[in-house]
Amino acid sequence: MDLSEIVGITGMPGLFKVASRRSDGVIVTSLVDGKTQFVSGRTHPVSPLDSISIFTTDEEPAMLKDVLAAIKKKEGKTPVPDVKNDAALKAWLEAVLPTYDKEKVHVSDMRKLAKWYNLLNEKSLIEELTTDKTKEEITEAKEEAVKEVKKESKPKAVKTAKSAKAQSKPAPVKKITTPRKAT
């Protein structure tokens, strides 16, 4: 599982695992209670966790994957505070990500980050989501995908109109006769 399979949905609490995609939305399973439901893309925008980043004072924003890994590393020294204590949340994020932009990152964003981290940590998904795959694992996965595509794209023995005509018996030739003139 990777961060692209876990999504946050606007207007819905918690995180969700994408079960299936449709043209008008997604079918998701809640990580909180395990219920599966359809979510319309028109009413609830869906954000995969791999596309979420946190504003920093550096040129590049910090990707959520990196922030989750940093929180996991510093969890023993700096535990995740209660989400109702604004001052503790600010101090916690300062310890985890010292370069976060204090003007653009709001306390509500910090609350959401703390809740998401607690949920993912409770489900033991932090290590799985934040570890990088080795090059060998990536190439093996690509090779398997190529094999599957080749299996699916093998030509099937389907008779087309041309092949059906070529294999059928030729039609008997009608002899055309013209009437003779009387002499």
What's the farthest any 2 CA atoms get from each other in the chain?
122
- Decide if domain 52-130 falls under CATH 1.10.10.1650: yes
Token couple for 89? 């949340």
Confirm if 1 and 125 have CB atoms less than 8 A apart.
yes
Q: Is 111 helix (H, G, I), strand (E, B) or coil?
A: helix
Tens-digit pLDDT string for the chain (183 aa)? 677 889 999 888 889 999 999 888 999 999 999 999 999 988 999 999 889 999 999 889 999 989 998 898 888 787 888 889 899 999 999 999 999 999 999 999 999 999 999 998 888 888 776 676 544 554 565 566 556 555 555 555 555 555 555 566 667 777 777 777 776
The three-point CA angle 103-109-115 to 5° equals 150
162: alpha, beta or left? (left if phi > 0; alpha if psi -120 to 50): alpha
Residue 103 to residues 55, 125, 178, Cα–Cα distance (Å): 9, 30, 99
Task: State pTM to two decimals.
Answer: 0.67
* Cβ-Cβ contacts under 8 Å for 4 (sequence gap 6 or more): 48, 49, 50, 51
Confirm if 126 and 117 have CB atoms less than 8 A apart.
yes
Q: What is the Cα–Cα distance from 107 to 115, expressed in whole angstroms? A: 12
Q: What is the Cα–Cα distance from 39 to 12, expressed in whole angstroms? A: 10
